[in-house]
Amino acid sequence: GAVVSQHPSRVICKSGTSVKIECRSLDFQATTMFWYRQFPKQSLMLMATSNEGSKATYEQGVEKDKFLINHASLTLSTLTVTSAHPEDSSFYICSASGQVGWGTEAFFGQGTRLTVV
């Protein structure tokens, strides 16, 4: 399957600082990228959807000014958690989707474990 690389895999930051997470599609053009958040023992929760060159669409309850999403190219999307607080500590996962082979598979990054102290 296609490869989606997410970086960093782990990050610890101080409360009040900002953290940027990168998501790259390595061998296909990702027309759409999705960002998810997953708390312990829970399922993935969709945060936002972004199409290349357009503003992201955020799910209800997700603050767009806190979780900045940029999808400037067909292979890169970034999620910036601004002014992070301990309650933002979570597992963040990106997904990239595009025409890969047959059908409409989406492929996921390895995830980023964010810990805010």
Partner 1 sequence: DAKTTQPNSMESNEEEPVHLPCNHSTISGTDYIHWYRQLPSQGPEYVIHGLTSNVNNRMASLAIAEDRKSSTLILHRATLRDAAVYYCILRDFNYGGSQGNLIFGKGTKLSVKP
Site string for partner 1, 69-108 (x = CB under 8 A): ----------------------x-xxx-xx----xxxxxx
Among positions 24, 25, 28, 34, the unique one binding partner 1 when judged by CB under 8 A: 34
11 in contact with partner 1 (CB under 8 A): no
CA distances from 104 to 31, 61, 100, 101 (A): 11, 27, 7, 8
Give the separation between CA 100 and CA 9, rounded to whole angstroms.
25
Q: What is the nearest approach in angstroms of partner 1 to the Cβ of residue 66?
A: 20
- 84 or 93: CB nearest partner 1: 93
Q: What angle do CA 71, 74, 80 make, to 5 degrees?
A: 25
- 22 or 105: CB nearest partner 1: 105
CB 105 within 8 A of CB 27: no
CB count, 10 Å around CB of 102?
6
Q: Tell me which residue has tokens 């805010």.
A: 116
Residues that bind partner 1 (CB under 8 A): 1, 4, 6, 31-32, 34, 36, 43-46, 49, 51, 91, 93-95, 97-98, 103-111, 113
